[in-house]
């Protein structure tokens, strides 16, 4: 009888110590996003490096960092976007009430950041006319002449920032701010 109790106790102990516990269906595998791409931006004949990083495990901790380094390796643009800010400016028809959906949404934004249509070549066409979404008409005219490329990224449902290099001011500036 003692042997039987001992065997049952060992079996029960082994069962309790198993590491293959079922996963919670609401859990999500998440790896930080870290991508880069080379594109001409501050010079039509040289490539700058665009880099995006999405870090954090929970939406309230997540930060999307976007940087551009010129062909010499000098950082010419850096912006940090909080995950909560990106979630707060979304389509109200999206159901982002659960943390899993929020994480998937933020990861999708990061994964699509370097979509081909976000690189605008050239930033402004010579025949384009500035409208009410152009914050800096002088930059707009400068871009028409220089033919430099632009890049757009999303800040929310109806907000995209269009940026380009100002050769005159030697910095990245917003040349269009729209839907």
Q: What is the mean pLDDT of residues 27-48?
A: 86
Q: What percent of the chain has pLDDT over 70?
A: 82
Q: What is the mean pLDDT of residues 15-35?
A: 57
Instruction: With beta carbons less than 8 A apart as the criterion, state whether 108 and 94 touch.
Output: no
- The answer for residues whose C-beta is within 8 angstroms of residue 176's C-beta and 6 or more apart is 133, 134, 135, 140, 150, 152, 160, 161, 162
Q: What is the pLDDT of residues 51-96, one digit of tens each?
A: 999 999 899 999 999 999 999 999 999 999 999 888 887 777 788 8
- The answer for residues whose C-beta is within 8 angstroms of residue 89's C-beta and 6 or more apart is 155, 156, 157, 158, 159
pLDDT band at 18 (very low <50, low <70, confident <90, very high): low
Domain positions in the chain are: 29-178
Give 33 or 45, the one with higher predicted confidence. 45
- The answer for residues whose C-beta is within 8 angstroms of residue 11's C-beta and 6 or more apart is none
């Amino acid at each position: 009888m003692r042997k039987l109790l001992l065997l049952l106790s060992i079996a029960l102990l082994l069962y309790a110590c198993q590491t293959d516990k079922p996963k919670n269906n609401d859990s999500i595998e998440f790896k930080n996003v870290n991508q880069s791409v080379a594109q001409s931006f501050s010079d039509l004949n040289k490539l700058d490096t665009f880099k995006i990083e999405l870090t954090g495990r929970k939406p309230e901790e997540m930060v999307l960092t976007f940087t551009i380094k010129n062909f010499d390796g000098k950082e010419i643009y850096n912006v940090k976007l909080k995950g909560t800010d990106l979630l707060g400016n979304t389509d109200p028809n999206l159901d982002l009430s659960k943390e899993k959906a929020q994480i998937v949404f933020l990861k999708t934004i990061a994964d699509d950041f370097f979509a081909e249509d976000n690189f605008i070549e050239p930033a402004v066409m010579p025949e384009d006319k500035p409208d009410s979404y152009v914050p800096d008409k002088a930059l707009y005219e400068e871009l028409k002449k220089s033919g430099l490329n632009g890049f757009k990224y999303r800040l929310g449902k109806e907000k995209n920032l269009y940026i380009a290099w100002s050769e005159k001011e030697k910095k990245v500036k917003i040349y269009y701010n729209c839907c």
